[in-house]
Structure 1
Amino acid sequence: MSLLDTTFQLKARGTNVRTELLAGLTTFLTMAYIILVNPAILGQTGMPPAAVAAATCLAAGVGCILMGMVANYPIALAPGMGLNAYFTFTVVKTMGVPWQTALGLVFISGVLFLILTFAGVRKLIVNAIPRALFSAIAAGIGLFIAFIGLKGAGIVTANPGTTVGLGDLHNPNAMLALLGLAIIAVLEVWKVRGGILIGIVITSVIGWGLHLAQWTPQTYSVAQMTATAFQLDIPAAFGIGGKGLGLALVEILFVFVFVDLFDNVGTLVAVSTKAGLVQPDGTIPRLNRILFADATATVVGSLAGTSTVVSYIESASGVSAGGRTGLTAVVTGLLFLAALFVAPWAQAIPAAATAPALILVGSMMMAPLADIEWKDPVVAIPAFLTLIAIPLTFSIANGLAFGVIACAILKIAGRRIGREDWLLLVLAVLFVARFAYMAAA
């Protein structure tokens, strides 16, 4: 028995080294956009984009490797898209908090995650979520990432009359994405191993040949990361220094902790369900190890110079390519670390090549809906609200909030509430408070 098999239990999970390598590469390709997008967003705070690019690669690399080695799950980590926008546009640009102080708040939130994890609080919260909502979350995120893929490809666009509408299918990028969608779909029908990855590569080659990949080389070196590394201001994040930001800092910290917690829960449930790693009773093995990995990655990210690190739903693409163990995450992490040296080259993969993968993975994530008891309104209504709210509000946390609140209300109305549901009620109250805070902000 090989060392890799012993470490990651490859045979026990019905996989092999080749499949895991392909799955790790597939996951990396579908989420490598963060290397470019994160610096573009955080750079608007005044942070040097090249330094943020390096910090992004380092935080993602460390997070993925921790997830693989400590928890043995095929889940990849990287700076979260929603939280980087909140960091930039709300915390820094609207509230006037210096980016160094904002990084200090990210660090504190990461430490709080670790404390909550060791205390078992995060595990309790995950286990309090009704099993039917797990299935709805998985499918809702499937719709979510499919929508992201359709939007990224230009197949679906904004429309002032109907909110969304059909894009210009004569656009070369949209046509390339549709071709890539057909290629990957056919490969899946033929049950070709690594079909998603092969489809991405074929579509990329076609895109390069047609000069559809937009790439502008920029001056860059790993040493530039020092411009953001260890620049966080922890005393200011605690309100030390009399800058009059005490209450505002508490509110920011609350959002960092709250949104990260529930976005991670949603992604964790979706990917674990897709990989068949959830137990028959609905529990997730080694849950605290998973939560430890993402909390530690957030701490590392804040020290390197980037916003909160979260579990990425794009991990589902690697799972669809056959990834079942932490080796998939380790491979993804090593690729992120390698990207430290070539970060600007990541945009050589055209968006039209990765968009079809997201669309196909989204379709594959509809299967858990069959496990929901749709004839029972106490189960069906919260599940439907979760399913539909995730893509339409562009937020996993919002979908989960609607589902939990509806579930608590209907359980009380149907007199099906029990003592074991106390934490569900607490979560419902917290989600109501979250919506109230968002409305007042």
Structure 2
Amino acid sequence: MEAGLLERHFKLSERGTSVRTEVLAGVTTFLAMAYIVVVNPAILGQAGMPVAAVAAATCFAAAFASILMGLVANVPLALAPGMGLNAYFSFTVVQQMGVPWPVALACVFLSGVAFLILTLTGIRQLIVAAIPPHLFAAIAGGIGLFIGFIGLKEAGIIVANPATLVSLGSLAAPGPALALFGLAVIGTLSVRNVRAAVLIGILLTTLAAGLAGQIATPDQPYSIDAITGTAFKLDFAGLIGGLGSTGFGLVEIIFVLLFVDVFDNVGTLVAVTRRAGLMDAAGRIPGLNRILAADAVAAMVGALAGTTTVTSYVESAAGVQAGGRTGLAAVVTGLLFFATIFVAPYAQLVPLAATAPALIVVGGLMLRPLADISWDDPQVAIPAFLTVAMIPLSFSIANGLAFGIAAHAGLKLAKGQASRADWFLFTLAALFVARFVWMSAA
């Protein structure tokens, strides 16, 4: 686009920015979230998915989604496969529930379809209104602990123990030692406000692992063609066939993917648009439906490419801090992700010891919303604690949602605060209770 066309489409002058500022913002956002190119394949690889293919799919999905968001919604919001949902996909859906990853990808696609329908019909607002802010915060914090715990486990810093369930691993072993090195690098760079701290930490730890002889030579090809290993591998036939025997479980998967995606987007949108000064006087986000519709389409395209739910990234705030105010910043971020697709298959060289510190740090940063919870109010604290605790301890976002929402509804009844306006909340709670009864009888 020429300068005049950029001005007209993105309304640069109206928002007090320039092409140069938007390009800088887009680069800043890319550096802040580029770690997903190696972290996402490391997580999904444990679901049996080819790592090189997932890396290429991650880049393609992030590129498509960010460019779409920038062009359609004109907000400086970049997208990529979401942290937390990728862990839920690998460790809960595939490993615990035994769902083949192609069937699980079909669930991701359908959750995107459902998100689009809810957005276009306005039902999304009903879901958001039924859940109190403290459970939003607790879900985010619980997912943060989940991601951090996975990082500690994959690093070998925390290991299984038959007496105490978990205990401290041998820190002198190569894996834990490399992970601690990476954690120190990321921590040091982070406190010095280096935007690409996580990415640099991963790269330096990978280099250290190579020097220590801890990198296994992969047998998968280093080629952009690797994306064919996951692209269009969704198994809808398997999904439909599975509905007869494990229908409740598959519906639950789609529900959790949808539910968390809705919460992720609302929280991220509020944080980023508020910082960018894009909210109106009433605290509303202009063009909200276009933003959410773009996100839903991105989730579907990401699933077709072969990765988990694509969602808005709070790291976009780094670009906003650098001056980003329009969708041009998101387009720049998307173009950089597209360029990265040509080297993405090399992500399979990155060992778990290098990605584990990223999980620990990102998980820790996700605990910020817990500060907004009124922990001295039992009606708030009890559901919030159950949500935060059950997600990592049961290795399931679904269990955390179930405990938190059921507890919130139960305490509302106990206090005599139930009203007709809460019908959707109590419907959700009843479904979650039925889920526990079904699981106990199975």
When normalised by structure 2's length, the TM-score is 0.76
Cα distance in 2 for partners of 1:164, 1:328 equals: 44
The one-letter amino acid paired with 1:116 is L
Where 1:164 maps in the other structure, the secondary structure is strand
Counting only pairs closer than 5 Å after superposition, residues 33-112 of structure 1 correspond to structure 2 as: 33-35=39-41, 37-38=43-44, 41=47, 43=49, 54-55=56-57, 57-67=59-69, 69-70=71-72, 72=75, 73-77=77-81, 80-83=86-89, 86=93, 107-112=109-114
Unaligned runs of 5+ in 1: none
- How far did residue 251 of structure 1 move? 4.3
In the alignment, the residues of structure 1 paired with residue 14 and residue 441 of structure 2 have an alpha-carbon distance, to the nearest angstrom, of 47
Q: What percentage of residue pairs aligned between the two structures are identical?
A: 47
- Residue 184 of structure 1 corresponds to 186
CA contact (8 A) 1:67 1:293 kept: yes
Check the 8 A contact 1:64/1:77 in 2, yes or no.
no
Alignment CA distance shift 1:106-1:149 (3 Å) = closer
Q: Distance in 1 between matches of 2:40 and 2:224?
A: 17
Q: In structure 2, do the counterparts of structure 1 residues 80 and 354 end up closer, same or farther at CA, with 3 Å as the change threshold?
A: closer
Q: Does 1:262 align with 2:259?
A: yes
Question: SS where residue 160 of structure 2 aligns?
Answer: strand
Mark the CA change 1:294 to 1:410 in structure 2 (over 3 Å): closer, same or farther. Answer: same
The answer to whether the Cα contact below 8 Å between 2:32 and 2:197 also exists between their aligned partners in 1 is no
User: How far off its partner does 1:402 sit?
Assistant: 1.4
Residue of structure 2 in register with 1:428 after alignment: 429
1:283-294 counterparts in 2 under 5 A? 288-294=289-295
- Whether contact under 8 Å (2:67, 2:334) holds in the other structure is yes
| 2:210 partner amino acid | W
Pair 1:310–1:51, CA change in 2 (3 A): closer
* Cα distance change, pair 75–430 in 1 and its aligned pair in 2 (3 A): farther
In the alignment, which residue of structure 2 is the partner of 1:309?
309
Are the structure 2 counterparts of residues 277 and 211 from structure 1 closer, same or farther at C-alpha, using a change threshold of 3 Å? farther
Equivalent position SS for 1:6? coil
Aligned amino acid, residue 259 of structure 1: V
* Aligned twin of 2:418: 417
Residues in 2 aligned to 1:342 and 1:403: alpha-carbon distance in whole angstroms: 42
**Secondary structure class of the residue paired with 1:216:** coil
- How do 1:79-158 residues align onto structure 2 when only pairs under 5 Å count? 80-83=86-89, 86=93, 107-158=109-160
**Cα–Cα, structure 1 residues 157 and 6, in superposed 2: closer, same or farther, change >3 Å?**
farther
Note closer, same or farther for the CA distance 1:376–1:23 as it changes in structure 2 (3 Å cut).
same
Q: 1:273 to 1:152 in 2, by over 3 A?
A: farther
Q: TM-score, normalised by structure 1?
A: 0.76
Deviation at 1:414, TM superposition (A): 0.8
What is the root-mean-square deviation of aligned Cα atoms in Å? 4.2
User: 1:41, 1:84 within 8 Å by CA — same for their partners in 2?
Assistant: yes
* Number of aligned residues: 422
Q: Provide the C-alpha distance between the structure 1 equivalents of 2:285 and 2:133, rounded to a whole number of angstroms.
A: 11
Counterpart of 2:138, as a letter, is A
Structure 2 residue runs without a partner (length 5+): none
- Within a 5 Å distance, the mapping from 1:185-200 to structure 2 comes to 185-200=187-202
| Conserved? CA contact 2:108–2:309, under 8 Å | no
Q: For the residues of structure 1 that align with 2:153 and 2:146, how far apart are their CA atoms?
A: 11
| 1:374 partner SS | coil
Give the match's secondary structure for 2:34. helix
Contact 1:127–1:283 (CA under 8 A) maintained in structure 2: no
2:78/2:334 contact within 8 Å kept: no
Does 2:339 match 1:342? no
Amino acid in the other structure paired with 1:33: V
